[in-house]
Each structure stands twice: as structure tokens, then as C-alpha cells.
């Protein structure tokens, strides 16, 4: 489908791939388009909705500058999916044991591993980069809890909370997949919040000229620009490793409850909250994808639906108008607070029928009805990606 709507009130246009976008998100997108650092235009994916700092589902190309709040605090949040050699008929009728085995292997919410969960070489490599960042910014080191262990180490291979999840899915041919969604945990949040504050401080005299204080940015060559680039890439690497370690733990746990199987090559391990240097419309720019994945020609990606809907493994079509991007999911149509007011545990049980998952009031903010229709979202980005596999979850572990 073509672009549905174009906003022209800013310095550059905003091209939107959906008709379903709330007025608050339109205002956020317009504010972003008014910044002098934005290149060409802003793209808004079909799952676009109001976000903190910047609009979720936005793709923002900037010239010689980065907006830390647009990257956000869950730096490097993204997806991982692996296909197993198992088929639907290999699974037990009762899936509760599968969910329990995953929950025992992977801490969720604020929980973390009781011991260091990864090889010492992995910890050493990450620690070297982190120490270099902390030496230049001692305040980041002071934010770390003083314990006998490093929290960020114990959180490697953990899920976190909110809309993060682990799922067992079946594709259109009955093959079994493991899919998960998580990010850079507490350390990524600390890095994000610290540099967002630093950007506001650095631009203090200019904040009044910005359309939104949260859109404070670092310019290339400024005092803290390179430090932020180094820190954000460290957090993105940490998030990638977190997903990799979580997948390892899940596969090991499943070997204890399922028939013998092999894991095929990893389908994809991709970010959807991140910044990267890319070339678009003839210029080298920083592309911030806040709730969007890269969909370059031939590149594989993952677009999850809600707990009761389909998810998709996709191949990018390299559409330049979207900056070679697509949606990162279905996208919320109502806030968590609204969902809790409108729905209850009975609604949750009905809408997640056939899925082995929590169905209590504690997760009602993640009810499928709080999200946009994933089929409509996919239809709206048929110019951006093609579907490789359609997945339906049968087990879901929520953070």
C-alpha cells in the first residue's frame, strides 16, 4: 500500500504508512519534523503511536546529530527467533510444562540470575567497553548498585518486564519456532537516562527554541557526542548479547521437556530501538529507528503481533521512502492504563484462548485488544516487506 498521509507543517514532511494514528502522535511527529537536523523527511510506520520522548514507530534521519530521547532508554530493544527441527505433532497436549521450564530458566521482571550466567570472556569483553565509558562519565559508575556482583552481568539472559516476551510458535507448515523480545535491561536504561539529561543540559540555552524539550540533541563535534555514540553502541551490543544468551537458555530448557531436536541457524537477531550510520538520499546520516526495524532489500526481520495474534518473519524490500524500514510490531491502540480500566482477567482469558500463558489481571495491560490489528498493519506495509513465515504463538511468557 502507498503512503497514507503526509504532514507538511514542519521543516520536512512526515510520511505516514497508516490512517490509524492518534492526534498526540501527530503532534510528536510534527515536532520532530521541525528540528533543523532532520534530513529529507520523517517516516512513520503502520504501528505508529504516542511514545515517551519521540513517537514509537518513527524513523528519523538526522545530519551530524543524534537525539538521545528518540533512541530512548531501552537501547537496542529488539527480537530474536530460531526455528527448531520439531513439528507440532512432537509437542505434548499440555503445554504448561514447557512454559514452566522456560520460566525457571529465564528470570523475568526485576529478577536476575543468582550467578554469573555467561562465559567469563563475554563478561570481560563487555566490561572493557563499559569501564571505558564510565571512566569518562563517573556518574554512570555511581549509578551502579554497590553489590558483590555487577547487576548488568546477572541480567544477561533475562527478559525484563513490560511488553517483553518469550514465545513458542508454529509456522504455516507446523514447524516449531522460539521467538523472544527484550533489550538492554537496567544498564541500558541508566545509559539512556544519563545522556538524555546531558543533552538537555548541553542545550540548556537553546531548549526554549525546541518544539519539545525531549528533543534535545548532540551535534557531531560537540563535547559529548562521541561519548554518546560509544555508549549507545555498547548498550546495543549488550542487548544483542542478552537476547543471544536468553535464546541459549531457552533451548537448553526445552531439551529437558521435549523430544530430541536441533536448532537451525538463527533466523534474525535485530534491534528496533537504535541508531545507526547509513546513507539515504545521497547523504550520510544517523538513522534512529524508535520502534522500527531495518528492512533493506533481502534482509530478514521479525514483526510480532499481540499475545493472541499472528507474528511474521519478513524479508525487506529496501523501500527508500521508509529509509529501508518497517514496523516493529502491531503497535498499541490504547495505553496500559486505558487497557487496565477497560478489560479484566476474564477478557484476557477469552482473547488468549489456545495460548498457554498468564491470564490474570497482572498482565491485562498486554491484552490483544490493546493493540492494533496486525493484519491491517501488515497490509499497510506491503511496499516495505514480504512475508516469509507466518507464526502463531502457542506458549507465551511475559515479563
Q: What is the mean pLDDT of residues 2-13?
A: 94
At 332-373, the pLDDT tens digits run 999 899 999 999 999 999 999 999 999 988 899 999 999 999
5-333+371-398: CATH architecture: Alpha-Beta Complex (3.90)
Query: What gap in Å lies between CA 351 and CA 228, rounded to an integer?
Result: 42
234: cell is 555498547
Tens of pLDDT, residue by residue over 112-130, are 999 999 999 999 999 999 9
Closest CA to 44 of 26, 61, 58, 56: 58
How high is the pLDDT of residue 311? 96
- Asked about 328 being catalytic, the answer comes back as yes
C-alpha cell of residue 30: 510534527
Instruction: Give the residue-averaged pLDDT of 228-237.
Output: 98
What are the tens digits of pLDDT across the range 140-188? Answer: 888 776 666 789 999 999 999 989 999 999 999 999 999 999 999 999 9
Spans of all domains in the chain: 5-333+371-398
Q: How many angstroms separate the Cα of 2 from the Cα of each of 16, 102, 295, 299, 379?
A: 9, 41, 16, 21, 10
**Among 233, 328, 346, 389, the one annotated catalytic:** 328
Amino acid at each position: 500500500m502507498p503512503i497514507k498521509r503526509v504532514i507538511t507543517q514542519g521543516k520536512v514532511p512526515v510520511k505516514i504508512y497508516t490512517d490509524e494514528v492518534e492526534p498526540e502522535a501527530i503532534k510528536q511527529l510534527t515536532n520532530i519534523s521541525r528540528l533543523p537536523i532532520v534530513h529529507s523527511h520523517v517516516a512513520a510506520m503502520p504501528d505508529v503511536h504516542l511514545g515517551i520522548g519521540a513517537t514509537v514507530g518513527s524513523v528519523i534521519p538526522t545530519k551530524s546529530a543524534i537525539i538521545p530521547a528518540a533512541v530512548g532508554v531501552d537501547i537496542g530493544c529488539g527480537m530474536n527467533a530460531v526455528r527448531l527441527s520439531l513439528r507440532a505433532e512432537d509437542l505434548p497436549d499440555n503445554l504448561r510444562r514447557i512454559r514452566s521450564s522456560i520460566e525457571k530458566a529465564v528470570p523475568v521482571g526485576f529478577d536476575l540470575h543468582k550467578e554469573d550466567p555467561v562465559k567469563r570472556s563475554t563478561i570481560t569483553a563487555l566490561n572493557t567497553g563499559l569501564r571505558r565509558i564510565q571512566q569518562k562519565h563517573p556518574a554512570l559508575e555511581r549509578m551502579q548498585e554497590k553489590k558483590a556482583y555487577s547487576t548488568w552481568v546477572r541480567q544477561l539472559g533475562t527478559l525484563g518486564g513490560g511488553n517483553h516476551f518469550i514465545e513458542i510458535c508454529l509456522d504455516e507448515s507446523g514447524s516449531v519456532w522460539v521467538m523472544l523480545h527484550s533489550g538492554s535491561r537496567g544498564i541500558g536504561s541508566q545509559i539512556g537516562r544519563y545522556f538524555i539529561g546531558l543533552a538537555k543540559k548541553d542545550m540548556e540555552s537553546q531548549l526554549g527554541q525546541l518544539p519539545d524539550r525531549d528533543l534535545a540533541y548532540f551535534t557531531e563535534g560537540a563535547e559529548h557526542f562521541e561519548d554518546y555514540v560509544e555508549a549507545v553502541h555498547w548498550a546495543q551490543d549488550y542487548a544483542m548479547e542478552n537476547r543471544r544468551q536468553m535464546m541459549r537458555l531457552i533451548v537448553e530448557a526445552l531439551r529437558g521437556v521435549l523430544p530430541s531436536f536441533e536448532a537451525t541457524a538463527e533466523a534474525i537477531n535485530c534491534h528496533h530501538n537504535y541508531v545507526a550510520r547509513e546513507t539515504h538520499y545521497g547523504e550520510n546520516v544517523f538513522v534512529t529507528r524508535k520502534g522500527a526495524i531495518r528492512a533493506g532489500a533481502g534482509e530478514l526481520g521479525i514483526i510480532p503481533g499481540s499475545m493472541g495474534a499472528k507474528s511474521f518473519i519478513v524479508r525487506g524490500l529496501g523501500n527508500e521512502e521508509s529509509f529501508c524500514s518497517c514496523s516493529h510490531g502491531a503497535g498499541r491502540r490504547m495505553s496500559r492504563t486505558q487497557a487496565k480500566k477497560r478489560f479484566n482477567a476474564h477478557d484476557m482469558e477469552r482473547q488468549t484462548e489456545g495460548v498457554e500463558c498468564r491470564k490474570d489481571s497482572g498482565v491485562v495491560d498486554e491484552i490483544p485488544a490493546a493493540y492494533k490489528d496486525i493484519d491491517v498493519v501488515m497490509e499497510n506495509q506491503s511496499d516495505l516487506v514480504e512475508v516469509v513465515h507466518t507464526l502463531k504463538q502457542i506458549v507465551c511468557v511475559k515479563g
